[in-house]
Amino acid sequence: MKGAGKGKRRQTAPVTLARQRFAEALRRVRDATGFTKDTAVREALRATYGNINKSSFSRYMHGEHVPGPPFVKALYRLAERHCPPGSLTLPLEELLSMREEAETTTVADEELRQENARLREENARLRGLLHTGAGPAAPAPALAAAPAQDGDEPTATRQNLPSQKNTQVNGVTRVAREREPCALPVGGSKGDRQAADIPGPRETQAATAVRVEDHQDVTGRAPAAEFPEPAARQTAARLVRRLLDRTWSETGRTPDAEAALSLLLDVAGSVTPGELSEATRLLHSAGQEVLADSLVTAFARQQKERDVILAALALQRAREDSSLGLLLATAARRQR
């Protein structure tokens, strides 16, 4: 049934013990305010802290998100004003210390730690293959040509084909073969369900297709077009601006990363490899490593294998090594 899953809450990572302890302490402070409903607590916080939406407040109370020090201090001051003298036994300094521990403690789940270790090993292996050319995609050694007999036509070999050239890279002989430029394929037409300024059907954007050529042109042709092309850059810039806008709530006071991640998951299946490369670069420049990694991971999970390969080429060309490794590791995990 259409829309049947709209009311379901997105699954979150397991909550660490440090977050559980901090959330429990935070709930005790909330209960000390004397208000029986969270709505009343949020309304009372409006004067000293600002607006906070219902979902963010609930995540704070359950340890799914860790609030900033301003929220903790505002809630504590509110409890001090309304609770009976001596009933608030937890000092503010200790509560802030618990908050810092909860924010810096990683997920303690042993299975997740093992999975992360496997991903790091796979990441290192794939990056090593990429840089050395020793992977399964590396070209086979050149075959020796049989001696030509008098009157025979020359036999075409890897050495004398006009569209090929042998190069020596890290002691491994590689053959650079000319390919025809191709347009990057695009994903599904899901697009952004939340706004109309993200481009619509991809068939109307043929001009944004990115040309992929060999790293070395052996035919003397003119260099390939700018990569990514300006239209792809503009699309990526609009997407990044919207993601950065979504990291803050409408009041401009409270970070709302959930909204940004929701938008990111909506568009990850429809961006092109060139747009992914540019958007990742812009997010890293803005210090949004988490959003950049989330975009790369969602792309690797939603897009087809050929699109992921083309995205890897685009990220390599943009020198986004960390995102390239994450893309390859996620794709390898998906194949298991």
Confidence of residue 195 (pLDDT cuts 50, 70, 90): very low
Per mean pLDDT, which of 10-24, 160-174, 258-272, 302-316 is the most reliable?
302-316
The larger pLDDT score, comparing residue 201 to residue 167, is at: 167
Q: What is the mean pLDDT of the chain?
A: 69
pLDDT, position 114: 62
**What's the CA gap between 229 and 217, in Å, rounded?**
19
- Give the contacts of 22 (CB within 8 A, at least 6 positions apart): 63, 66, 95, 98, 99, 101, 102
Confidence of residue 29 (pLDDT cuts 50, 70, 90): very high
The larger pLDDT score, comparing residue 330 to residue 206, is at: 330
Give yes or no for a contact between 61 and 26, defined as CB atoms under 8 angstroms apart.
yes
pLDDT, position 30: 93
The predicted model scores a pTM of 0.33
Confidence of residue 107 (pLDDT cuts 50, 70, 90): low
Q: Is the pLDDT score of 95 beyond 90?
A: yes
Phi, psi values for residue 182, rounded to 5°: -130, 150
Confidence of residue 23 (pLDDT cuts 50, 70, 90): very high
pLDDT, position 132: 66
Confidence of residue 204 (pLDDT cuts 50, 70, 90): very low
Confidence of residue 24 (pLDDT cuts 50, 70, 90): very high
Lowest mean pLDDT among 77-91, 185-199, 241-255: 185-199
Lowest mean pLDDT among 29-33, 204-208, 305-309: 204-208
User: Which residues in 260-298 are b (16+ Cβ under 10 Å) and which e?
Assistant: bbebbbbbbbbbbbbbbbbbbbbbbeeebeebbbbbbbb
- Residue 324 burial (10 A CB sphere; 0-12, 13-18, 19+): buried
Q: Is the pLDDT score of 196 beyond 50?
A: no
Structure confidence by residue, pLDDT tens digits, 260-281? 677 777 777 788 888 888 888 8
Helices (H), 33-91: 38-45, 54-62, 69-82
Q: Is the pLDDT score of 181 beyond 80?
A: no
Which residues lie across from 176 on neighbouring strands?
Answer: 165
Question: Whose structure tokens read 């901090």?
Answer: 22
Per mean pLDDT, which of 57-61, 186-190, 284-288 is the most reliable?
57-61
**What's the CA gap between 105 and 16, in Å, rounded?**
7
Q: Is the pLDDT score of 200 beyond 50?
A: no
Q: Is the pLDDT score of 141 beyond 80?
A: no
Per mean pLDDT, which of 5-14, 181-190, 237-246, 321-330 is the most reliable?
321-330
Per mean pLDDT, which of 8-12, 109-113, 125-129, 136-140 is the most reliable?
125-129
Structure confidence by residue, pLDDT tens digits, 299-319? 888 888 888 888 898 888 888
